[in-house]
Structure 1
Amino acid sequence: MRARRSSQMMITDPYTLTVALDPTGNAAGSLYIDDESSFEYKTQQKFCYVEFTYSRATLSGVPNCAGGMQPMNSIEKLIIVGEARKIESIIGPNKTKLDFIQNDSVTEVKLPVEFVCVGFNISLQF
């Protein structure tokens, strides 16, 4: 995490996404992004909302960007909590193999997504 003096200074900072699986091995969550400085989210519907779902060993990110909003933020780290099976590989966007470290039921994936507001799938292979 980078300490910043204002939200404007962190507008393009990357995110760390933590996915905590429920007892059935699923998870869901969302991310809301706007320009952090105006009311355009309200007056011009200018924002980006990303829905995340994890099911059957696949994390999907589905963006809904409105009003021309196209944030350039990436996901620099993905942390998956609760997957105890031994992971052999992780396949990211564009069918690339991603670097990861698995310790017990916590897996950390480095640089999985270049742009958070572009749809993606990340699949775990066992």
Structure 2
Amino acid sequence: MRRRRSTQAMDNDPYTVFVNCAIDPAEGGMMAHASGRLFIDAGDGYEHLKGEFLYMKFDYRYRTLKAEPLSIPLHDTLDDKGRPTRIHGKLSGWPQMRLGVERLVFVGSTVAPDEIKYIDSTGEQDLLFTITDMGLSHPPRFHIVVKRPPITLGKYDWRIELRGLNFAKVQKHQEMASMGPSYGTGGSTAR
């Protein structure tokens, strides 16, 4: 990550998306999920009132990350029922490189996948990733970093799937947990 002194200096930097996985007790305490929202606009002026923005929701469930567009209400225009008109934004004048994702980080995943796939309308693509054992015992938790996923913010016809459960990693994790805390020792794997 690049540290900058101002947000204007970060204007052309790619994004890093963090997925902080929470344990869902309804799923038996073993399945992690997360959701969050992202709003992007030019940061100056009032072009967002004309629809020059991105507002999107990320949702991670059942080892799959997806994104969908969200709308915002415009309070100065009303629909036929007297409610504020809602608009979906788009950053039409922005180059694709300004909306690229450099890293996708899953924090606290309960699975150590064998492979991570990017899936869109054109097919599937294997992604490069690293896994680090977080040293937690029950359930095991992992820190997964996907490098250069082919995600462009503002496009929604994709999903990322964490596939397979690497039982060797889970077994190694259980052995290490029985020996005490072991942050970052031997639990890292690169693909």
Range of TM-score over shorter length: 0.7 to 0.9
Q: Select the structure that is richer in helix.
A: 2
Matched with 1:51 is 57
Matched with 1:123 is 161
1:14 counterpart = 2:42: no
Q: 1:86 to 1:5 in 2, by over 3 A?
A: closer
Matched with 1:88 is 114
Q: 1:3 to 1:22 in 2, by over 3 A?
A: closer
SS in 1 for 2:112: coil
Deviations 1:72-119 (A, max 9, x none): 311110110121322100001441000000111100100113411111
Indicate the larger mover: 102-111 or 70-79.
70-79
Q: 1:10 to 1:124 in 2, by over 3 A?
A: same
Aligned residues: 124
- Please identify the structure whose Cα radius of gyration is greater: 2
SS in 2 for 1:41: helix
Identity of aligned residues (%): 31
**Letter of the 2:161 counterpart:** S
Q: CA deviation at 1:62?
A: 1.7
Separation (CA, whole Å) in 1 of partners of 2:108 and 2:5: 34
The two structures, once aligned, show a CA RMSD in angstroms of 1.9
Q: CA deviation at 1:6?
A: 4.7
State which of 49, 54, 69 in structure 1 corresponds to 2:91. 69
Structure 2: gaps (5+ residues): 25-31, 71-87, 134-141, 165-191
- Structure 2 length as normaliser, TM-score? 0.59
SS in 2 for 1:112: coil
**Letter of the 1:22 counterpart:** A
Considering Cα pairs closer than 8 Å and 6+ residues apart, tell me whether 1 or 2 has the greater RCO.
1
Runs of 4+ in structure 1 over 2 Å off = 1-12
Separation (CA, whole Å) in 2 of partners of 1:108 and 1:3: 19
Deviations 1:60-79 (A, max 9, x none): 0223552x524431111011
- Structure 1 length as normaliser, TM-score? 0.86
Separation (CA, whole Å) in 2 of partners of 1:31 and 1:46: 14
Q: CA deviation at 1:48?
A: 0.7
